[in-house]
Amino acid sequence: MDLPQINVAIDQLTFSLFQRPLHPELFQIYANRQVKTESYEASIWVTGCTYVLSVFSADMCLTEVVSTPKQPLPARGLLERFHFQGPRTHKCTLSRGVSYMTDFQVEKMSPNLYKQSRADLERFSHNRGVFVKFPEMEIGELQPFCYVDFEARRTELHVHTFAAYPDQVTMIKTQSLFDFQK
């Protein structure tokens, strides 16, 4: 399995929202989870210190992607694209009663806070979510990782992600809400 690209400037990472699924062969997938309720199904892929989250409901699909500059992504179905240059909140309501909200922040940390955050998130992941670490890419005592925590409710999916970049002692945090109220 190839190592992920983690030595990338944070402001070069992109957050994209598509109204379509993306093909798994576009990505190196290190871990995946499936979620299913009576209102929707979701696929969560950890693709390094990045992720792909696709949520399907009836004939609708929304896909949220955090990607590196070298990641090929299609133009078809793209609704929004942002760079990580400070905090941002985005909301949209789509047809068929589907609403979506996300916000993210970039947090520069001290090395001690970085290590403590990693330990806390890894411990929390034993009970829920998916935690992928990359010890072979450790810089000093700081290890890159991606943690995706999710809460599946009957008509809502809440997702929190934490992606850590040791070369910049920085963590990107996102939270998204997919709401399928009819």
Tell me if 99 is assigned to some domain: yes
Local mean pLDDT, 10-residue blocks, the chain (182 residues):
68 92 94 93 94 91 92 93 85 80 94 95 93 89 94 94 94 93 68
Tell me if 5 is assigned to some domain: no
Burial class from Cβ neighbours inside 10 Å (0-12, 13-18, 19+) for residue 1 reads: exposed
Tell me if 69 is assigned to some domain: yes
Q: Which two tokens stand for residue 56?
A: 């399907």
Distance CA 46, CA 25 (A): 13
- pTM assigned to the model: 0.91
Place of tokens 């990580």: 84
Burial class from Cβ neighbours inside 10 Å (0-12, 13-18, 19+) for residue 87 reads: exposed
Strands 170-179 and 98-108, bridge-based pairing = antiparallel
Tell me if 172 is assigned to some domain: yes
Amino acid 2: pLDDT: 64
What range defines the domain where residue 90 resides? 10-179
Distance CA 172, CA 12 (A): 12
Distance CA 135, CA 83 (A): 27
Tell me if 55 is assigned to some domain: yes
Amino acid 93: pLDDT: 80
Amino acid 85: pLDDT: 81
Tell me if 44 is assigned to some domain: yes
Number of domains in the chain: 1
Tell me if 1 is assigned to some domain: no
- The identity of residue 142, as a single letter, is L
Tell me if 2 is assigned to some domain: no
Amino acid 3: pLDDT: 55
